[in-house]
Structure 1
Amino acid sequence: MTSNGRLKISGGRGVKAAFLAGALTLALGTGTAFAYWATNGSGSGSAATGDMQTVTVDALVPGDTPTSMLIPGGTADVVLRVTNPNPYPVQVYSVMGDGPVTADTAHPACTTTGVTFAGSPGPLSPSVSIPANSTALVTLPGAAGMDATSQPACQGATFHLPVTLAVRK
Structure 2
Amino acid sequence: MTSNGWLKISGGRRGTAAFLAGALTLALGTGTAYAYWTTNGSGSGSAAAGDMQTVTVDALVPGDTPASALIPGGTADVVLRVTNPNPYPVQVYSVTGNGSVTADTAHPACTITGVTFAGSLVPLSPAVSIAPNSTALVTLPGAASMDATSQSACQGATFHLPVTLAVRK
CA gap of 1:9–1:105, structure 2 versus 1, over 3 A, is: closer
**1:52 shift after superposition:** 1.1
Q: Please state how far the C-alpha of 1:130 moved relative to its aligned partner.
A: 1.1
1:157 is matched with 157
The CA RMSD over aligned residues, in Å, is 2.1
How far apart are the structure 2 equivalents of 1:115 and 1:165?
A: 20
User: Given the superposition, is the C-alpha separation of residues 133 and 7 from structure 1 closer, same or farther in structure 2, using an over 3 Å criterion?
Assistant: closer
Q: What is the TM-score of this pair, normalised by structure 1? A: 0.87
Q: Is the contact between residue 9 and residue 16 of structure 2 (CA under 8 Å) also seen in structure 1?
A: no
What stretches of structure 2 of length at least 5 have no aligned partner? Answer: none
Alignment match, 2:10: 11
Match of 1:79 in 2: 79
Distance 1:101 1:8 in 2: 102
* Alpha-carbon distance between aligned partners in 1 of 2:62 and 2:97, rounded to the nearest angstrom: 23
TM-score scaled by structure 2? 0.87
Q: Secondary structure at the match of 2:136?
A: strand
Farther off after superposition, 136-145 or 8-17? 8-17
Question: Counterpart in 2 of 1:104?
Answer: 104
Residue 146 of structure 2: aligned partner: 146
5 Å-filtered alignment, 1:1-169, equals 1-2=2-3, 9=8, 11-13=10-12, 15-169=15-169
Structure 1 unaligned residues grouped into runs of 5+? none
Partners of 2:92 and 2:130 within 8 A in 1: yes
Q: How many residues align?
A: 167
- Contact 2:90 2:129 (C-alpha < 8 Å) held by counterparts: yes
- Aligned partner letter, 1:27: A
